[in-house]
Amino acid sequence: MFNRERTRRHMTDGAFASPFPVEDPVALAALEVAQSGLAAAVRALADATVRTRVAAPDLAAVAEQVETLTARLLAEAQEGPLGLETDSAGRLRDHGNAMVGMRNPIAPPLVVTGDESGSTSCALTLGAGYEGPPGYVHGGIVAAVLDQVLGSVPAHLGLPGMTAYLNTTYRRPTPLGAPLHCRGWVERVDGWKVHARGEIRDAQDLVTAEAEALFVVPRWAREHLDRPTGDAAGTAPGGEAAQEPSAS
Ligand SMILES: CCCCCCCCCC(=O)SCCNC(=O)CCNC(=O)[C@H](O)C(C)(C)COP(=O)(O)OP(=O)(O)OC[C@H]1O[C@@H](n2cnc3c(N)ncnc32)[C@H](O)[C@@H]1OP(=O)(O)O
């Protein structure tokens, strides 16, 4: 089913060709622009909702308007989550993904890049809607960012797997509203298992959080992929041991 191609993109960037043909790519591309625009507008609404200081009557009026808009969208909506869809370029996309989904206003959205060595990178700034400790990013969101950026590591190796564990260490509070940089890299490939590490750095280049994780290609997905590229010796493609990212 999966037509695996070694590209510089993650599944969320359409790294996998879809087995399903697109009937009208031009119309679908226009729809994608509209969907992305809606998500961006609702994302801004969520941020404004957290930060607004307008008075109660105005808030009630806005809530009523938002409820009207919600009903308008639900007039034609699918029952459950999006899962994987074919985009206008004929690639498989997870537009509902909570971290990178193009259609998801909850997603920051992260833009994760990477290469065939399994190194991944993402510049991001998180706003008021992601607050945990006052002024700082919620620890669960920190872990979610690391999960996504480290989870892109196996995808870039052609072994898209699910997180078996993600061990996160919080070194210092991660600031809101300031540029952050998250990186992931492969430590070891062992058959269908990819061990990855990563970190988030703040604008002063200080590590705020780091993680080590195991991603496993689920049994149900293995028949759709090539044989595993690694072996029990734990040699990562293109290197012998852990591949640390180069300094930015
Ligand atoms: C096509 C893939 C789609 C990718 C989507 C991207 C997702 C983005 C990242 C996420 O957020 S994923 C969401 C959070 N993670 C989950 O919900 C995963 C839930 N767990 C599972 O579905 C299964 O437990 C799992 C896929 C991780 C493994 O189950 P399997 O039945 O496919 O494999 P199995 O249990 O036979 O284990 C395979 C190997 O992994 C090892 N393993 C599995 N879980 C482990 C664990 N927790 N710790 C250490 N090792 C583990 C296991 O020992 C074994 O090692 P060996 O091959 O050497 O014998």
Q: Predicted confidence band at 110 (pLDDT cuts at 50, 70, 90)?
A: very high
Q: How far apart are CA 133 and CA 17, in angstroms?
A: 41
Q: Per-residue pLDDT for 1 more than 50?
A: no
pLDDT tens, residue by residue, 149-184: 999 999 999 899 999 999 999 999 999 999 999 999
- Give CA angle at 189 (184, 192), nearest 5°: 110
pLDDT of residue 232: 28
Pocket of ligand 1 (CB under 6 A): 147, 151, 160-165, 191, 193, 214, 216, 218-219, 221
Q: How far apart are CA 97 and CA 87, in angstroms?
A: 14
Look at ligand 1, atom 47, and give the residue with the nearest C-alpha: 164
Expressed in angstroms and rounded, the spacing between residue 109 Cα and the centre of ligand 1 is 25
pLDDT of residue 226: 64
**Of the candidates 188, 145, 192, the residue with the CA atom closest to the CA atom of residue 168:** 145
The DSSP code for 22 is P
Q: Are 64 and 74 in contact (CB under 8 A)?
A: no
Q: Per-residue pLDDT for 4 more than 80?
A: no
Q: Predicted confidence band at 38 (pLDDT cuts at 50, 70, 90)?
A: very high
pLDDT of residue 9: 40
Which DSSP helix (H) or strand (E) runs through 228? Answer: none
The DSSP code for 224 is T
Fold of 3-222: Thiol Ester Dehydrase; Chain A (3.10.129)
Structure tokens of 50?
């957290």
Expressed in angstroms and rounded, the spacing between residue 216 Cα and the centre of ligand 1 is 4
Q: Are 171 and 211 in contact (CB under 8 A)?
A: no
Between the alpha carbon of residue 115 and those of residues 9, 99, 140, the distances in Å are: 7, 20, 27
ipTM value, please give it: 0.94
Look at ligand 1, atom 36, and give the residue with the nearest C-alpha: 219
Q: How far apart are CA 133 and CA 173, in angstroms?
A: 8
pLDDT of residue 228: 54
Q: Predicted confidence band at 15 (pLDDT cuts at 50, 70, 90)?
A: low
Mean pLDDT of 117-140: 97
Alpha helices, H only, 112-202? 139-156
Q: How far apart are CA 120 and CA 136, in angstroms?
A: 24
Averaged confidence pLDDT in the chain: 87
Structure tokens of 73?
């969208």
Expressed in angstroms and rounded, the spacing between residue 71 Cα and the centre of ligand 1 is 38
Q: Are 156 and 10 in contact (CB under 8 A)?
A: yes
Mean pLDDT of 179-194: 97
Q: How far apart are CA 122 and CA 128, in angstroms?
A: 19
pLDDT of residue 83: 92
Q: Are 142 and 208 in contact (CB under 8 A)?
A: yes
Rg value, the chain, Cα: 20
- Test site for ligand 1: of 162, 195, 223, 224, most ligand atoms within 8 A of the Cβ: 162
Q: How far apart are CA 35 and CA 22, in angstroms?
A: 17
User: Which atom belonging to ligand 1 lies closest to the Cα atom of 190?
Assistant: 58
pLDDT tens, residue by residue, 218-234: 998 888 776 554 432 22
